Structure 1
Amino acid sequence: MQRQNKTAQRTDISTLESVALAATRSAAVASHPWVGRNDKKAADAAATEAMRQVLADAPGRGVVVIGEGEKDEAPMLFNGETVGNGLGGPDFDIAVDPLEGTSFCAKNLPGSMATIAFAESGTMWSPGPGFYMDKIVVPPQAKGAVDLADPPERTLGKVAEALGKQVGELRVVIMDKPRHQDLIKRVLKAGAAVHTPAEGDVGGSLEVLLPTGSADLLLGIGGTPEGVMTAAAVRALGGDMLGRLAPQREEEADAIRAAGMDVDRIYVRDELVGGDALFAATGVTGGALLSEPRESGGTVLAESLLVSRGEVRRVSHTTFGSMLRMAS
């Protein structure tokens, strides 16, 4: 259910930009030695612990509203975990995936990155026992044009009209999962092009949202942690998003119903993240969005993306040392 904001004053979440960047950079550098070693859990554990150490020293007090890991028993920053030193900073909500694209990392494929989102305290939606959600993400030009209840063909038409394009010019991101076989067929039959990454719907959503991105919308079912983080980026950039819980197993559906939640309810962007928010990511295996960390002349170089206050910034980090020493 949506938690209520108990603070009387609004939080300037932008004061946490440096913390977000430090958290994702540390996670990316810590997980990088595991690239190509076919050990997803070890890479995820390294990223999680490195991020946890940074967040422990964050000013103020943060609560992990939603963390990656419960649905697949991976290492995680757990739901309800409190971080921060409690001094000189705001209360804030956190959504986190220390290693987005664990399979990409394990197989040394492009697209893996460390990700985190912060929002004003009490403004992030908590999906409770729901691990998966159906999503639509569109850029600012198509805000208000979509409805998750529409068939995909109608959605494509609405987005094309909003963007001043023909349906045949649209490029749609849909993860390459068995559950999406029919959706992909229908989108292709309607005339749009489809990009089908094996995983990584946060990265796919960024391709939709960023001015330099190569996609027009994202459709399909992905994780709820990724959904909330995406909503933070969508809100910060003025795009639009709709989400609906989509349990993939009967026990998940039973748990959602037992929690008093409605699997048919469609959540709008501002219900997913209702306050000021920011999003940060650092590349792990490189790709179109971010380069991977690398060593040069006794320094470690990493590239990050920060989405905050309606702006997108690319940040290069240079730190003395070796990735292997930093990760040990």
Structure 2
Amino acid sequence: MQRLLSLEMVRVTEAAAIAAAQWTGRGMKNEADDAATTAMRSMFKNVPIHGKVVIGEGEMDEAPMLYIGEEVGNGEGEAIDIAVDPVEGTELVAKGLNGALAVMAIAERGQLLHAPDMYMEKLACGPALAGLLSLDDPLELTLQKAAFGLGKKRSELTVSILDRERHAKHFRILRDAGVRIRLLNAGDVAGAMAPSFPESGVDLYIGSGGAPEGVLAAAALTCLRGEIQGRLMPMNEEELNRCYAMNIMNPHEMLTMERMVGKGDVIFAATGITQGDFVGGVKFLAGDQAETHSIVMRAETRTIRYLRSIHYMPSKPQLDAYLGQVI
């Protein structure tokens, strides 16, 4: 893929983040998601790709914009698969909490796993533990391996996990082991990325979250030299059939990084909507300006770029329709 697409992807996530940020703390998560999705779709019109959404806001009959299978871009460039989450953490935006992102990943056509919208069991770690852990191991053994691999006592480990009732068993094991627990209100992609950023203070990410978010996390961790393993958790026959329809013939297989994002190049971009561990949130400044903080990464070169951008909003006509609606 052309490296110049990296900046094009950031322009898309910046637009989504700015559009969503106007709804921060207003208790209206659907409005935030709609604004970000519409802005992201509008920005795609000028991107020189022949893009196809493989992970988006849902199926065509339930998501009028950025639905799975939708063609985006101006049709003049490469054939690209696209995974998007215009607002990763809608509840975070609605409540004005930290950690919400606008995220996307791109790869060559046919490379990204078409993950069905269901739960996925996950285990994510940073570069120091990549290749040492297995989702098939009991959690107690995973903690022992992680402590040994990092040269720490188990009591010195910090494990991140979504604060959900379905994780009650995980909480008991973690507390019995004496590790520190960082509970997340939301933010599945950022949670999986955190162990790859030393400044986050997180060693492992465990538990279940959305399968589409698992693929987005795999794209990011491919660039960061971390690792995520996943396993789909179909709850009924309907969800099993969705797996088969997406060519996942063994829904209970352990999904490796290669299975989720392939061997080729991947570009991942994220812009903070609210303040996070590794990117700041959107700030609306005086003089019709907005400040954004983004990260963009490429697997082929392992380059990680941080961008601080100041946007003069009157020169952003593509966002005019979505800003200023909150009155």
TM, length-normalised to structure 2: 0.89
Match of 2:322 among 312, 322, 327: 327
Paired position in structure 2 for 1:112: 100
Q: 2:242 and 2:306 mapped to 1: Cα distance? A: 40
Question: Does structure 2 conserve the Cα–Cα contact (< 8 Å) formed by 1:173 and 1:217?
Answer: yes
Q: 1:130 and 1:29 mapped to 2: Cα distance? A: 26
Pick which of 94-103 and 293-302 moved more: 293-302
Answer yes or no: is 1:57 the counterpart of 2:12: no
Question: Does structure 1 conserve the Cα–Cα contact (< 8 Å) formed by 2:16 and 2:102?
Answer: yes
Q: 2:137 and 2:122 mapped to 1: Cα distance? A: 12
The amino acid of 1:40's aligned partner reads K
RMSD value over aligned CA atoms?
2.2
Q: 1:187 to 1:249 in 2, by over 3 A?
A: farther
Paired position in structure 2 for 1:302: 292
Deviations 1:283-316 (A, max 9, x none): 1122333222122231211111112231322101
Pick which of 258-267 and 97-106 moved more: 258-267
Question: Does structure 2 conserve the Cα–Cα contact (< 8 Å) formed by 1:133 and 1:243?
Answer: yes
The amino acid of 1:283's aligned partner reads G
Q: Which secondary structure state, in structure 1, belongs to the residue aligned with residue 134 of structure 2?
A: coil
Q: 2:27 and 2:58 mapped to 1: Cα distance? A: 18
The amino acid of 1:242's aligned partner reads Q
Uncovered stretches (5+) of structure 1, i.e. residues with no partner:
1-10
Match of 2:29 among 40, 64, 70: 40
Question: Does structure 1 conserve the Cα–Cα contact (< 8 Å) formed by 2:188 and 2:209?
Answer: yes
Answer yes or no: is 1:96 the counterpart of 2:84: yes
The amino acid of 2:257's aligned partner reads R
Match of 2:307 among 315, 322, 325: 315
Match of 1:221 among 205, 208, 212: 208
Q: 1:189 to 1:155 in 2, by over 3 A?
A: same
Q: 1:282 and 1:62 mapped to 2: Cα distance? A: 20
Question: Does structure 1 conserve the Cα–Cα contact (< 8 Å) formed by 2:195 and 2:202?
Answer: yes
Within-5 A mapping of 1:257-272: 261-272=249-260
Question: Does structure 1 conserve the Cα–Cα contact (< 8 Å) formed by 2:122 and 2:206?
Answer: yes
Paired position in structure 1 for 2:112: 124
Paired position in structure 1 for 2:7: 18
Q: 1:200 and 1:172 mapped to 2: Cα distance? A: 15
Question: What is the count of residue pairs matched by the alignment?
Answer: 314
Q: 1:203 to 1:258 in 2, by over 3 A?
A: closer
User: Between the two proteins, what is the percent identity of the paired residues?
Assistant: 40
Uncovered stretches (5+) of structure 2, i.e. residues with no partner:
none
1:164 positional shift: 1.9
Q: 1:194 and 1:68 mapped to 2: Cα distance? A: 31
Paired position in structure 2 for 1:5: none
Match of 2:229 among 242, 245, 270: 242
